Amino acid sequence: MRHSIGRTRNGMLVYVDLINSKAGIHIAQQPYLLGLLKQALAGISAKGVSMSIEHDMGRSVGYNFVVKTTEKDTVLYARLLRDELYTRFVKNGKPLATTFISMVLERDTDKNYELRDAWIGRLTPPRPGSDQETVDSKQYWAEHAYVLDNQSLQLRTVTKTCPYEA
C-alpha cells in the first residue's frame, strides 16, 4: 500500500509502502513519525539513486534506542521475529532523548523516492551480515546496541556469544 508522505525541497515526491517496508513497521509503532518525516523532507533536496539522511529537527522528537555500551553492560544477541540477522541488545539500557530522525530513500523507475526505512534517532551503519554491511558496521555494533525493551525475539536464537567477529 503506497502512501504519499510529501515532497522534498526540490519537488520530488516521496512515498512509503506501509505494509511491506521497514519504514512501515516503524511508522506503525510510532505514527507521529509520519508527520516528522513530512516536515524534514520539505527541507531536504533529494538527489541520486539512494540516500541515507540524518535530519536534526531542532527540538526533542522522541528517544534513540541505540546506545553506546561499556564492558559493564549486559549484552546479548538475538534475531527478531521474521529477521535472519542477529541484533545486539543491551539489558537495563536507557534510551536517550534525541532531536534527530533518520531515513533511507531509494529512487524508483518513475523518478520518485520510496522511503525504505525511517526511525527516530541518529543514522547508524547497517548490521553486520546484511547485504548493506559497510566497513564500519562491525566496529560500530561492537560498541553500540539496541535497548532491550519489548521487541519480539526468536527465543531459540538468544545468546551472549557474538555471532559475528569485530
The C-alpha cell 513519525 sits at: 33
CA distance 37 to 2: 15
Residue 38 is given by DSSP the state H
Report pLDDT digits (tens) over 58-70: 999 999 999 999 9
Is residue 42 a contact partner of residue 7, using CB atoms and an 8 Å limit?
A: yes
The pLDDT, as a whole number, for residue 165 is 67
CA distance 155 to 46: 40
Report pLDDT digits (tens) over 108-124: 999 999 999 999 999 99
The pLDDT, as a whole number, for residue 71 is 93
Report pLDDT digits (tens) over 19-69: 999 999 899 989 999 999 999 999 999 999 999 999 999 999 999 999 999
Half-sphere exposure of 97 (CA within 13 A, CB side): 4
The pLDDT, as a whole number, for residue 136 is 94
- Per-residue pLDDT band for 150 (boundaries 50, 70, 90) equals confident
